Amino acid sequence: MPPRPDLTLTPAGPALAPRYRELPRPLPTHPYLRLFARPGTRAFTVGNLIARLPMGMFGVSAVIMIAAAYGSYALAGAVTATGLAVGSVTSPLIARLVDRYGQARIAVPAAAYAVLGHLVLLLCVHERAPVWALFVTTAVTATTPNTGGMSRARWAHLLRNDPDLLHTANSFEQAADELCYMLGPVLAAVLCSALFPEAGTLAADALLLCGVLLFAAQRSTEPPVAPRSSAGSPLRAPGMAPLLAVFLATGAVFGSMEVVTLAYVDGPVAGPVLALQAAGSCAAGLLYGRARRAARLHTCLGAMAVLMTVPLFAASTGSLLALAVGLLVAGTATAPTMVTGMGLIQRLTPAAQLNEGMTLAVTALLAGIAAGSAGGGWAADHAPFASFGFLLPVTAAASALALCAATGAGRRAPG
């Protein structure tokens, strides 16, 4: 279509030489191209991915670093568990501050304080400080901001009038989560083994700080700070508590599957085999994002409960290849379930408390992962047969489905 002439008026009448103005270009038809055609979205996404990659690195790096210095994996696991437990309390509080004062004003100092804590922990480990110092340092510096939640909040603000494209954005974010948790541990293990035990922590700190600074610098896409709400915690929103209970049970699926798989494989290929579950979820998330709308939560949970039986049957054959394929297949249920659940969280949470609401969902998920990991460890030590532990993810998925059906989780979500 030819450009339209723009006859600019002057005091003497129409300008002698008409100026031509280009018509706005139509948005691409592919949903992901449409997503990143919006101004500023690529920049904040790159920064957020850089900041999110260390989330899969810190735990592995700390375990390797502490175990190398103190010769105890039990101590390393206890220290990292302490940080996770304290973070489950501090993360919603930090998210509340983000909602009240803005992402840039809170995320940058929170990330800087967390990086400082990691460096102090590194020095304590390097100097063989007393054990109590490791726990104290980890506890008082658990302030890493929920960068994934802040990115989802930006999408929710930018696409508040386009639910179909918001579904695509949530699917992309879940795929990004899976990719970071798939690559992060591998990168940390390579750095710690190829260079020195502290290398993983140093690299993760650098990535976190640089990524948060880049993300926070993109002010044009940052959600505006809403007036202080008198609604109280998002926990009071109708339907929120049952949905968080479903997230808790879903987290137990992931935690138990990770531990029982590592115990079953018990070797250097355990990590790559387990990563196939994240790979399946990442691929499913990208495909799910091309669908026009999200499925029902109970449908996704039902699919997860069925697909979690595949690794159980594969492990019973004793074939490592069969287990690898089974994990890849089972992983395809993860992203659709999480995308649908996070979409419900966004719809249930008041706009002024969106970061806090999504962080509560992540906290419930992490609590479930911790419980599932503990159950998986017990099953690995006391299993009557090798594949027994794979019953736990099946049971947890069935429990999540039962909770969803019994409480009607998600049915009160508007829209």
Same domain, 185 and 295: no
Say whether both 280 and 377 belong to one domain: yes
* Structural domain contains residue 32: no
- Looking at residue 294, its pLDDT comes to 66
CATH number of the domain bearing residue 99: 1.20.1250.20
How large is the greatest C-alpha to C-alpha distance in the chain, in angstroms?
A: 95
The answer to the question of residue 220 being in a domain is yes
**Residues 157 and 256 both lie in one domain:** no
Assess whether 76 and 104 both reside in one domain.
yes
- C-alpha to C-alpha distance for 340 and 170, rounded to whole angstroms: 8
Supply the pLDDT for residue 7.
Answer: 45
CB atoms within 10 A of CB 231: 11
pLDDT on residue 283 = 83
Residues 61 and 189 in one domain: yes
pLDDT, averaged in runs of 10, over the chain (415 residues)? 49 49 58 79 89 83 81 75 80 83 88 91 88 87 85 84 81 81 78 84 92 89 71 72 89 83 73 79 79 77 92 88 90 86 82 77 82 76 75 92 82 54
CA distance 392 to 351: 37
- Give, rounded to a whole angstrom, the gap between the first and last alpha carbons of the chain: 38
Q: Are residues 199 and 249 in the same domain?
A: no
Is 113 a member of any domain? yes
- Containing domain of residue 298, as a range? 235-415
Structural domain total, the chain? 2
218, part of any domain? yes
Tell me the three state secondary structure of residue 44: helix
Question: At 27, is the secondary structure helix, strand, or coil?
Answer: coil
Q: Is residue 2 part of a domain?
A: no
Q: 255 with 282, same domain?
A: yes
Residue 31 is assigned to a structural domain of this protein: no
Q: What pLDDT score does 8 carry?
A: 47
Domain boundary among 195, 225, 255: 225
The β-bridge partners of 13 are 10
Looking at the fold, whether 288 and 383 belong to one and the same domain comes out as yes
Which of 175, 195, 225 finishes a domain? 225
Do 193 and 248 reside in the same domain of the chain?
no
3-state helix, strand, coil in the chain (%, to 5): 75, 0, 25
Residue 233: other Cβ atoms inside 10 A: 14
- Look up residue 328 and give its two tokens: 């890849």
Residue 283 burial (10 A CB sphere; 0-12, 13-18, 19+): middle
Q: Note the pTM of the prediction, 2 decimals.
A: 0.74
Asked if 247 and 100 sit in the same domain, the reply is: no
- Six-digit token string for 140: 């008082």
